[in-house]
A and B are shown apart, each in its own frame.
Chain A
Amino acid sequence: MSDIAERVKKIVIDHLGVDADKVVEGASFIDDLGADSLDTVELVMAFEEEFGVEIPDDAADSILTVGDAVKFIEKAQA
């Protein structure tokens, strides 16, 4: 796992209070990790803070899984 993926995973575990083994690349924040719509907004804000990137609303809407978040941040930082 890349450094970005590890940091994303840590944020998700801390914020949602879920077991680390559940936070896999394909895990959906809402369907698999029990997030509600407000959690997803808070996660996006936490990602923005951690990585110093701006995630516009339309991009945020397409970030549904842990892998989506990692990919978006990798691209934004490239």
Chain B
Amino acid sequence: MFDLTGRKALVTGATGGLGEEIARLLHKQGAIVGLHGTRVEKLEALAADLGGDRVKIFPANLSDRDEVKALGEKAETELEGVDILVNNAGITKDGLFVRMSDADWDSVLEVNLTAVFRLTRELTHPMMRRRHGRIINISSVVGVTGNPGQANYCASKAGLIGFSKSLAQEIATRNVTVNCVAPGFIESAMTGKLNDKQKDAILGAIPMKRMGAGGDIAAAVLYLASNEAGYVTGQTIHVNGGMAMI
């Protein structure tokens, strides 16, 4: 089950906690993995840790639209066809809405949503031609429930769900599936920024009384990337310890 031997995957934000877990699992299941990130040293370290075999690195700044386009072209060429695209990279610029600056809104939407649009557009057409592809977008539970202080982030993550459903309908006949994974609260650098009071409040809302691990999310991504999930498209898999049952 879930064998990815010979498949080529591109994971954005692969040096973040979640992206790294996803990249490691896809690699373990046999995929050739392209690692995107912003810091070359971290990408090289992860590639080396994966043994240097079946792995390539693709540094790019997702805030720069030309770099996003170039990333898609480069990955398609160097991996000789991207079968699995995991749009995982994301940023936060939290703040209460009434004090949220244009810059904080724009930068979050640019990286979390517009870069996904542009990168996916580069890679979708070749997938359609090959009559096979898996596009997996990492959304978030708060894209569905909302979260105070994260209007920009929640808008971007909700946007990914609508984007995925539309694209899924357009290209379903080409055997290219488009789905989201919506993590709840996961132990990561992003949730590490929360203070203790915030953490207690969060745990109180999670029936499992613990935050998730990166591996919990990676497992859902692996399923959607696999041949076994070929009939699943336009869906959002919520992996959140029961904190929202949607």
Contact = CB atoms under 8 A, between A and B. Distances in A.
A42 B125 CA distance: 8
Q: Which secondary structure dominates where chain B touches chain A?
A: helix
Nearest to A15: B129
Interface residues of B, number: 7
A20 interface: no
Q: Which secondary structure dominates where chain A touches chain B?
A: helix
Contacts of B125: 42, 45
A42 B128 contact: yes
Contacts of A38: 128, 170-171, 173-174
B125 to A, nearest CB: 7
Contacts of A45: 125
A5 to B, nearest CB: 23
Nearest to A37: B170
Nearest to B125: A45
A36 B173 contact: yes
Contacts of B129: 42
Interface string B153-189: 0000000000000000011011000000000000000
The residue among A36, A38, A45 with the most chain B CB atoms within 10 A of its own CB is: A38
Contacts of B173: 36, 38
B171 to A, nearest CB: 7
Interface in A17-73: 36, 38, 42, 45
B163 to A, nearest CB: 17
Interface in B124-139: 125, 128-129
A3 B129 CA distance: 25
Interface string B94-131: 00000000000000000000000000000001001100
Nearest to B129: A42
Nearest to B174: A38
Contacts of A36: 173
Interface of A: 36, 38, 42, 45
4 closest A-B pairs by CB: A38-B173, A36-B173, A42-B128, A38-B170
10 contacts: A36-B173, A38-B128, A38-B170, A38-B171, A38-B173, A38-B174, A42-B125, A42-B128, A42-B129, A45-B125
